[in-house]
């Protein structure tokens, strides 16, 4: 399958254009010849020197990543930017990126995958960002305790041994859960105002402690990387369904 066709299919499936005005990431095909034939695809959360090298070792023709290398443009191709771009260009490996579209997709996205892990029902879009959403909210039919939800997240997510932090300020029973993966703590107040008992995200900020305490909501900080493997794994399944061979590159950051 040609690279350009893969990119077009992914853009259509992920509704990439709808996020163009709200996402700093240059989503879509960031590097590579659109007319190249693609046989093997590597998927990864991050585009970094090490993940590119691993994609090369796997003989991938295309790397599909959540975090790319162009955030509002590339001013100079020196230093780290050069070390990332040079092997892609030298080997003719393409790079496709989906940032916020892959966070917010209600079936393939990171939040959707985490909601499925938590077995949430009646899920709906959550986390407003202009005209789009970057998360998901749902109902747990069997209420979680704080310890039960913490243990599930800590046991199932690849947090690199760093564990899951909890701001324990909500009710004893956790039924309504809002999710924005990665650096999603800015949607904490929206979660509280929506009536959620708990908010699950990747990483926190200082203000989250007092906001959670004042709003009476639990906050689970489960790791940026750990909460964002779901989307690229969903794309891996999708690509395999299109007849492509795939490799998942796993490099947890512990952050």
Residue 224 assigned ligand-binding role: yes
The strand pair at 94-97 and 62-67 is best described as parallel
Region 220-230 average pLDDT:
98
| 32-73 tens-digit pLDDT | 989 999 999 999 999 999 999 999 999 999 999 999 999 988
* Res 162: pLDDT: 86
Residues 6+ apart with CB under 8 A from 69: 30, 31, 47, 81, 84, 85, 95, 97
Q: What percent of the chain has pLDDT over 90?
A: 95
Q: Residue for token digits 């590097």?
A: 31
Domain ranges of the chain: 3-98+229-248, 103-227
Residue 66 assigned ligand-binding role: yes
Residue 200, token pair as written in the block: 């699950």
Residue 67 assigned ligand-binding role: yes
pLDDT exceeds cutoff 90 at 224: yes
Residue 133 assigned ligand-binding role: no
The class (CATH top level) of 103-227 is alpha beta
CATH architecture of 3-98+229-248: 3-Layer(aba) Sandwich (3.40)
Same fold flag, 3-98+229-248 and 103-227: yes
């Amino acid at each position: 399958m040609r690279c350009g066709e893969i990119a077009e299919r992914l853009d259509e499936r992920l509704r990439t254009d709808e996020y163009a005005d709200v996402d700093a990431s240059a989503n879509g095909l960031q590097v590579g010849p659109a007319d190249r034939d693609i046989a093997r695809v590597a998927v990864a959360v991050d585009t970094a020197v090490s993940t590119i090298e691993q994609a090369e070792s796997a003989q991938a023709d295309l790397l599909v990543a959540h975090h790319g290398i162009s955030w509002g443009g590339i001013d100079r191709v020196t230093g780290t930017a050069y070390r990332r771009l040079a092997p892609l260009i030298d080997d003719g490996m393409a790079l496709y990126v989906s940032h916020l579209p892959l966070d917010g997709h209600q079936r393939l996205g990171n939040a959707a995958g985490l909601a499925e892990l938590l077995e949430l029902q009646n899920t709906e879009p959550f986390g407003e960002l202009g005209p789009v959403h970057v998360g998901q909210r749902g109902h747990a039919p069997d209420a979680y305790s704080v310890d039960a939800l913490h243990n599930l997240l800590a046991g199932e997510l690849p947090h690199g041994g760093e564990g899951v932090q909890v701001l324990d300020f909500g009710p004893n029973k956790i039924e309504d859960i809002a999710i924005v993966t990665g650096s999603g703590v800015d949607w904490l107040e929206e979660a509280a105002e929506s009536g959620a008992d708990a908010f699950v995200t990747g990483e926190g900020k200082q203000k989250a402690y007092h906001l959670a305490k004042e709003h009476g909501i639990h906050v689970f900080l489960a790791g940026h990387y750990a909460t964002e493997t779901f989307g690229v794994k969903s794309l891996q399944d999708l690509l395999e369904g299109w007849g492509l061979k795939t490799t998942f590159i796993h490099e947890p950051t512990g952050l």
